[in-house]
Structure formats: structure tokens, C-alpha cells
Amino acid sequence: MCVFCAAIPTAAAVGTNLNSKQKAARGAAKAKGIELPSEKPIAKMTIGVIVLLAIGSVIYHSLKLPY
């Protein structure tokens, strides 16, 4: 498996983990009644990384010679 293909599920798992931690932290802050931490666009950044990795994978596999 190439580096691009291996990195796609890894990026998805890391992005999902970061997003769930952020939501849990915001929920805990809301329950305690303290100021909510700013929300970062982790889901959008994760999707962007996955799209870039998929494009890189397509380019790599298209240019790779079958020899």
C-alpha cells in the first residue's frame, strides 16, 4: 500500500478523534456554565486533508509505471 493510500484512513481517524474531543470539551464547559472554548473547523480541515490525499493518490497511481 502506498503512503497516500495508508494516510487516508489515518487522517480520518485522527480528525474524528480531534473533533469528538473538541465536542466533549465544549459540552463539559457548557454543563459547568463556563465560557465555551472557540470551535475550530476540524471536520472541514479533515475533509480537506482527505481530499488532498486522494488527489495525490490518484496522481501517484496514474503516473506510476506498471513495470
The Cα-based distances of 12 to 5, 9, 18, 43, 59 in angstroms read 12, 5, 10, 9, 20
Average pLDDT over every residue of 17-45: 92
CA distance 14 to 61: 24
When pLDDT is cut at 50, 70 and 90, the band that residue 41 belongs to is very high
Give the count of beta carbons closer than 10 Å to the beta carbon of residue 17. Answer: 12
First to last CA, the chain: 16
**Angle at the Cα of 31 (from 22 to 20), degrees rounded to 5?**
20
Domain boundaries of the chain, sorted by first residue: 3-32+40-63
Residue range 42-54, pLDDT digits in tens: 999 999 999 999 9
Given a cut of 60, whether residue 67 has pLDDT beyond it is: no
